[in-house]
């Protein structure tokens, strides 16, 4: 009876809030709190477990970040039903991302759907600007940048940043609020055709700016899709970095013929 039995792989001094988080998750896992259920309120949990309300909040916050529960202010905390995520197919042979499934998979009744310019921030020496410059083989001073947001089903789903090795960009193209598809728009502005060079997938927590754009708490897991497009002769012409709400999208690659 020393350190820890196999069923609780924790150090002996696991904080109270984490033990509590585990106990609550157990209730979710075992179905004691089925999906959609409202958890007891914070004062109720506080009383039930004999801990301060702040400790309860710490536990619940972890479960929220782990997407186990959803907190609705003024209403309550609810067990999340299984996530509905948009699948975006990627055909390795055609080298194209098929977004055909997106509009049908989400309620499309909003007239606010589409991609919209957010801003055309100056290209400084920030880490992201430096990365873009590195990927395009230029210096930050040679680049222009435009940011956008993609809305689907009435919600902001993705925050996008584009860097191109020329400038300045036409004022109308980067007018905040302008609807459009930035990749073809930028290709047209540059007078070139674009094809994929590479694309990469990663994951990051939402920074403060992205969190605000996407309407999620800072730190929310975002799927990052970044990459370079080039002209047919192979000159890098665009670096793009999309941050997509992880709970609402996934990218699928099919390897077999169908």
Q: Are strands 86-91 and 195-205 parallel, antiparallel or unpaired?
A: unpaired
CB closer to DNA, 53 vs 151: 53
Residue 163: closest CA among 222, 109, 225, 239:
239
**Burial bucket for residue 77 (CB in 10 Å: 0-12, 13-18, 19+):** buried
Rounded distance between C-alpha atoms, residue 154 and residue 151, angstroms: 6
How many residues touch DNA under the rule CB under 7 A: the total is 25
How many residues touch a second copy under the rule CB under 8 A: the total is 59
CB closer to a second copy, 74 vs 92: 92
Q: What tokens does 60 get?
A: 């619940």
With contacts defined by CB under 7 A, name the span among 15-23, 101-109, 183-191, 222-230 that binds DNA: 15-23
Check: CB of residue 246 under 8 Å from CB of residue 222. Answer: yes
Phi, psi of 148 (to 5 degrees): -145, 175
CB closer to DNA, 21 vs 150: 21
Rounded distance between C-alpha atoms, residue 92 and residue 255, angstroms: 7
Residue 42, binding choice from DNA, a second copy, none, Cβ under 5 to 8 Å by partner class: DNA
Q: How far is the CB of 176 from a second copy (least distance, A)?
A: 9
Return the residue matching tokens 């004691």.
32
Q: How far is the CB of 47 from DNA (least distance, A)?
A: 10
The residues pairing with 97 across neighbouring beta strands, listed in sequence order, are 90
Return the residues of window 107-136 that contact a second copy according to CB under 8 A.
Answer: 126-127, 130-131
Rounded distance between C-alpha atoms, residue 236 and residue 228, angstroms: 7
Return the residue matching tokens 């979710």.
28
Residue 237: closest CA among 147, 138, 136:
136
Query: Is 22 an interacting residue with respect to DNA (CB under 7 A)?
Result: no
CB closer to a second copy, 115 vs 226: 226
Rounded distance between C-alpha atoms, residue 47 and residue 194, angstroms: 61
x/- mask, DNA, residues 46-85, rule CB under 7 A, reads: ----xxxxxx-xx------------xxxxxxx--------
Residue 183, binding choice from DNA, a second copy, none, Cβ under 5 to 8 Å by partner class: none
Residue 12, binding choice from a second copy, DNA, none, Cβ under 5 to 8 Å by partner class: none
Rounded distance between C-alpha atoms, residue 247 and residue 67, angstroms: 8
Residue 191, binding choice from DNA, a second copy, none, Cβ under 5 to 8 Å by partner class: none
Binding site for a second copy (CB under 8 A): 9-10, 18, 21-22, 25, 29, 62, 65-68, 82, 85, 87, 90, 92-93, 95, 126-127, 130-131, 195-208, 211-212, 218-224, 230, 234, 244, 246-247, 249-256
Binding region for DNA (CB under 7 A): 13, 15-18, 39, 41-44, 50-55, 57-58, 71-77
């Amino acid at each position: 009876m020393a350190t820890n039995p196999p069923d609780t792989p924790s150090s002996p001094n696991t904080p109270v809030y984490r033990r509590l988080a585990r106990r609550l998750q157990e209730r979710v896992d075992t179905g004691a709190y089925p999906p959609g259920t409202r958890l007891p309120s914070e004062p109720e949990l506080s009383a039930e477990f004999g801990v301060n309300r702040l400790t309860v909040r710490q536990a619940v916050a972890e479960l929220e970040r782990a997407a186990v529960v959803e907190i609705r202010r003024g209403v309550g905390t609810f067990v999340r039903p299984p996530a509905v995520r948009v699948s975006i197919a990627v055909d390795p042979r055609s080298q194209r991302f098929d977004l055909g499934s997106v509009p049908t998979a989400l309620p499309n009744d909003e007239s606010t759907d589409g991609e919209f310019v957010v801003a055309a921030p100056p290209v400084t020496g920030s880490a992201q600007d430096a990365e873009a410059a590195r990927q395009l083989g230029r210096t930050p001073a040679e680049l222009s940048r435009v940011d956008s947001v993609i809305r689907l089903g009435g919600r902001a789903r993705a925050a996008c940043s584009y860097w191109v090795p020329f400038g300045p960009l036409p004022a109308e193209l980067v007018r905040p609020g302008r609807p459009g598809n930035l990749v073809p728009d930028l290709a047209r502005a540059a007078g070139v055709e674009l094809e994929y060079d590479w694309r990469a997938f990663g994951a990051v927590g939402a920074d403060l700016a992205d969190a605000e754009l996407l309407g999620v708490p800072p730190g929310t897991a975002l799927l990052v899709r970044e990459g370079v497009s080039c002209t047919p002769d192979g000159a890098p012409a665009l670096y793009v970095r999309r941050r997509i709400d992880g709970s609402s999208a996934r990218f699928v690659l099919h390897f077999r013929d169908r």
